[in-house]
């Protein structure tokens, strides 16, 4: 893991930080000396445990239960963060839902929930933090899209549509806020075994291995592969990069 001195002392919010990629992003921010705010959607979220883990590493960290699809909850959390730390420098929009259903069998509620969390949630978070970032003339926003935004996957039409929306959102918001010194970028993860063993449990060993062997680098990504790029995009070393979606997929979309 690279250390970026410019992140030290910065206030970073990470949504969906209770496990997987979000947890690893939070850990890397802590190891870089950031003050970390971890958000989770419900009471069963592990964000409180993640915050304790960050504190044990010597970081200043707090956790909140927050439904990012709920504008009022988002605004309340952001206000509390500003009251505690006085600033918000970094926002990582990692939270998302992953429904699986062919379009002809998809309940309307599934489509609505996917858009509310994956797009409205991102919209709510960005809209809430941007006034503070614009006032301080500094900010880093990193959105988590997916290679599903670029290539079709059966039974993932809602997820793919929402993640493609994130690419367009990122590109356009970057242009809007660039004059205020704010960078907005995204990453598009490919197959990532975000919880050890979860990939095999979800797909079965045969399909898991098929996916692995379809990746030119011949492995699933680890959480650190994704977090490394997010933290770089959150650092001052990426100050001339904005409006971009970095594909982190071991080369699978290059085939």
Give tens-digit pLDDT for 124-143. 999 999 999 999 999 999 99
pLDDT, one tens digit per residue, over 3-17 is: 999 999 999 999 999
pLDDT of residue 152: 82
pLDDT of residue 196: 75
Average pLDDT, the chain: 94
CA 173 from centroid of its chain's CA atoms: 16
Q: Is 13 left (phi over 0), alpha (psi -120 to 50) or beta?
A: beta
Residue 126 · residue 90 · CB < 8 Å:
no
Around 50, how many Cα atoms within 13 Å sit in the side-chain half-sphere? 30
pLDDT of residue 112: 97
Higher-confidence residue: 206 or 246?
246
Query: Taking 80 as the threshold, does the pLDDT of residue 43 lie above it?
Result: no
Backbone angles phi, psi at 117, to 5 degrees: -80, -55
Looking up tokens 């062919």 gives 102
Residue 63 · residue 47 · CB < 8 Å:
yes
Q: Which residues of 48-85 are buried (b: 16+ CB within 10 A; e: fewer)?
A: bebbebbeeeebbbbbbebbbbbbebbeebbeebbeeb
What residues are labeled active site?
Answer: 159
pLDDT of residue 238: 98
Return d(Cα 107, Cα 29) in angstroms, integer: 38
What is the CATH number that goes with domain 5-247? Answer: 3.40.50.720
Distances (CA, A) of 173 to 2, 127, 139, 169, 170: 28, 10, 12, 6, 5
Helix (H, G, I), strand (E, B) or coil at 183: strand
Q: Per this entry, what is the length of the chain?
A: 255
Taking residues 229-249, report their average pLDDT: 98
Residue 24 · residue 251 · CB < 8 Å:
no
Q: Is 240 left (phi over 0), alpha (psi -120 to 50) or beta?
A: alpha
C-alpha Rg value of the chain to the nearest Å: 17
Is the pTM above the cut of 0.75?
yes
Classify burial at 5, counting beta carbons within 10 Å of its beta carbon; exposed 0-12, middle 13-18, buried 19 or more. Answer: exposed
DSSP string, 219-248: SPBPHHHHHHHHHHHTSGGGTT--S-EEEE
- Percentage of the chain surpassing pLDDT 90? 83
pLDDT, one tens digit per residue, over 77-130 is: 999 999 999 999 999 999 999 898 999 999 999 999 999 999 999 999 999 999
Query: Taking 80 as the threshold, does the pLDDT of residue 234 lie above it?
Result: yes
Higher-confidence residue: 196 or 34?
34
Taking residues 36-62, report their average pLDDT: 91
Highest mean pLDDT (candidates 46-50, 131-135, 193-197): 131-135
pLDDT, one tens digit per residue, over 208-230 is: 889 899 999 999 899 999 999 99
Domain ranges of the chain: 5-247
């Amino acid at each position: 893991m690279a250390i970026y001195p410019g992140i030290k002392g910065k206030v970073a919010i990470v949504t969906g930080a209770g496990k997987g990629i979000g947890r690893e992003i939070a850990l890397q921010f802590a190891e870089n000396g950031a003050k970390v705010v971890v958000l989770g959607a419900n009471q069963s979220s592990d964000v409180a445990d993640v915050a304790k883990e960050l504190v044990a590493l010597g970081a200043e960290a707090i956790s909140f239960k927050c439904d990012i699809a709920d504008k009022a909850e988002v605004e309340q959390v952001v206000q509390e963060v500003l009251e505690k730390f006085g600033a918000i420098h970094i926002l990582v929009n990692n939270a998302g839902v992953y429904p699986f259903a062919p379009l002809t069998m998809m309940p309307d509620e599934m489509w609505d929930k996917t858009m509310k969390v994956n797009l409205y949630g991102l919209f709510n978070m960005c809209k809430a933090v941007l006034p503070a970032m614009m006032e301080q003339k500094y900010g880093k926003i990193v959105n988590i899209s997916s290679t599903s935004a670029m290539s079709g996957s059966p039974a993932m039409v809602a997820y793919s549509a929402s993640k493609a929306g994130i690419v367009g959102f990122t590109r356009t918001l970057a242009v809007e806020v660039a004059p205020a010194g704010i960078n907005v970028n995204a990453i598009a993860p490919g197959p990532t075994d975000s919880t050890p063993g979860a990939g095999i449990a979800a797909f079965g060993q045969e399909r898991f291995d098929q996916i692995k062997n379809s990746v030119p680098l011949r492995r699933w990504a680890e959480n650190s592969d994704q977090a490394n790029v997010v933290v770089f995009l959150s650092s001052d070393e990426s100050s001339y990069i904005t409006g971009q979606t970095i594909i982190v997929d071991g080369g699978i979309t290059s085939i």
